[in-house]
Every structure is written in structure tokens, then in C-alpha cells.
């Protein structure tokens, strides 16, 4: 089963994708994570993407679709969860082709509906454990013991360089201009389902699980 999680930055796509990955043996394919790894490694893709990402703009369609193709070739367990891809109409077309070439189909497109005003606060307050990647938030989810990761006990945390208010505003504008217009395409194909992304994390997961059916 292959699914897309759609929604603006901070809607909870990454959080839900990791939960589905753990619960159902699906594989999260996050182009944002792939690009951040490329930037960290200083690869040619990373060098091209770094400034674009820091500005909150979109990396080229060709680069991200190539990354997705490579990851699909590496195998996607019991199915792929596309997180942060596709983000443009050209990427949506590329994904259809990438799947068709591999004899696969797209089963569901799940839009996390959120109140945009709440997103800036969600994003600007978030941070992760530098060791295990567990996600936290200044207001909504602090570690139980201040300065110590609940999961692995590590003491260092990090924040994404693009999680600042100015960049978040650009990311939202990009979403509205380039990503939101692909929603009607999937709606027309009968693939779109909407979920309340403002509900608490567990409820959002339950709503998605209900759409996907038994694992
Ligand atoms: P994310 O982690 O999904 O919020 O992505 C972080 C940044 O990576 C975005 O603001 C873009 O600069 C870039 N990016 C991630 N996925 C894509 C994509 N599918 N198309 C274009 N740029 C992307």
C-alpha cells in the first residue's frame, strides 16, 4: 500500500509517518529528511539544496523526484508513506510515473487539515533529540526531565535552521501557491481523504489507521 500525507509545514506529516512506520512496517519517504541528509553530507545535491531550503523555497522537481526514485528502488517494505512529496503538480505526475514503472499504485492521499495560525507556533517551538531524533516542543511536549531525552537519555537537542518565523511564512506561501493546487487532482481521482490535523497526535493516527484499514 502506498500513501501520500499532504498538508502544510507543521501539520504533523512527519510525526504521523513515523507512527505508521512503527505500527505497520511501512517506510517513510521524506524528501525533507533526504535533503537534510544530503546537506549534512555535503553531496552535490546537498550543495544545491542548502540555500533554497534555508530560504523556505522549493528544491527543483527533478532533484526530489530522483531522490524518491532511488528510494523506491531500494525497496519500501509493506508500502511507502510519502511525506512532503509531491509538493507540485510536476512532482505529482512524476510520482505516478515512478510508481507505474515499478508496477505499483497509489492507494490513498490523506490531507491533514490544520489551522494555519497555529502552525507557526507549532513549528517555531519544535526541537529534536540530537541522538535519537525524538521530537519535542517548547510548549506542548517538553522532556519529562529538563534537558534529558525521554527516549535515550541524551542531553543534546537540535532545531532545524528553517524553523524560524520568517522562513516558515515563506514555506506556507509555497504550500499555498504550489502544493495546495494538487489536492483537487487527487480528489478528482477519488483518492483524497481529509483528517483533522488539529486533534491530538493519537487521534490523528487513529483516523489515518481507520482509512488504511487492517494492517
Ligand atoms: P520538510 O522537511 O518536508 O518541511 O522540507 C524542508 C525543506 O526541504 C522544504 O522547505 C523545501 O525547501 C525542501 N523540500 C522538501 N521536500 C521537497 C519537495 N518535495 N519539493 C521541493 N522541495 C522540498
pLDDT in tens, 9-53: 989 999 999 999 988 889 999 999 999 999 999 999 999 999 999
Least confident of 47-56, 67-76, 93-102, 103-112: 67-76
Cα–Cα distance for residue pair 143/149, rounded to 1 Å = 6
With 0.85 as the threshold, say if the pTM is over it. Answer: yes
Q: Name the closest-CA residue to atom 9, ligand 1.
A: 53
**Residue in 142, 160, 193, 194 annotated catalytic:** 160
Q: What is the C-alpha radius of gyration for the chain, rounded to an integer number of angstroms?
A: 17
pLDDT in tens, 195-211: 999 998 999 999 999 99
Q: Give the nearest ligand 1 atom to 167 CA.
A: 10
Amino acid at each position: 500500500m502506498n500513501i501520500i500525507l499532504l498538508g502544510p509545514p507543521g501539520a504533523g506529516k512527519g510525526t504521523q509517518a513515523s507512527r505508521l512506520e512503527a505500527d505497520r512496517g511501512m517506510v517513510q519517504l521524506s524528501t525533507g529528511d533526504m535533503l537534510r541528509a544530503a546537506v549534512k553530507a555535503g553531496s552535490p545535491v546537498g550543495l544545491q539544496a542548502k540555500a533554497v531550503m534555508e530560504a523556505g523555497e522549493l528544491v527543483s522537481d527533478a532533484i526530489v523526484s530522483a531522490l524518491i526514485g532511488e528510494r523506491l528502488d531500494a525497496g519500501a517494505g509493506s508500502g511507502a508513506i510519502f511525506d512532503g512529496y509531491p509538493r507540485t503538480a510536476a512532482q505529482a505526475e512524476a510520482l505516478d510515473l515512478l510508481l507505474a514503472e515499478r508496477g505499483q499504485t497509489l492507494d490513498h492521499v490523506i490531507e491533514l487539515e490544520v489551522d494555519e495560525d497555529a502552525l507557526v507556533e507549532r513549528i517555531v517551538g519544535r526541537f529534536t533529540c540530537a541522538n535519537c531524533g525524538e521530537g519535542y516542543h517548547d510548549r506542548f511536549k517538553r522532556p519529562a526531565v529538563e534537558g534529558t531525552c525521554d527516549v535515550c537519555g541524551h542531553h543534546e537537542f537540535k532545531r532545524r535552521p528553517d524553523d524560524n518565523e520568517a522562513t516558515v511564512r515563506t514555506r506556507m506561501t509555497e504550500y499555498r501557491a504550489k502544493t495546495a493546487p494538487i489536492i483537487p487532482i487527487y480528489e478528482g481521482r477519488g483518492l483524497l481523504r481529509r483528517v483533522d490535523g488539529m486533534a491530538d497526535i493519537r487521534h490523528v493516527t487513529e483516523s489515518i489507521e481507520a482509512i488504511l484499514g487492517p494492517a
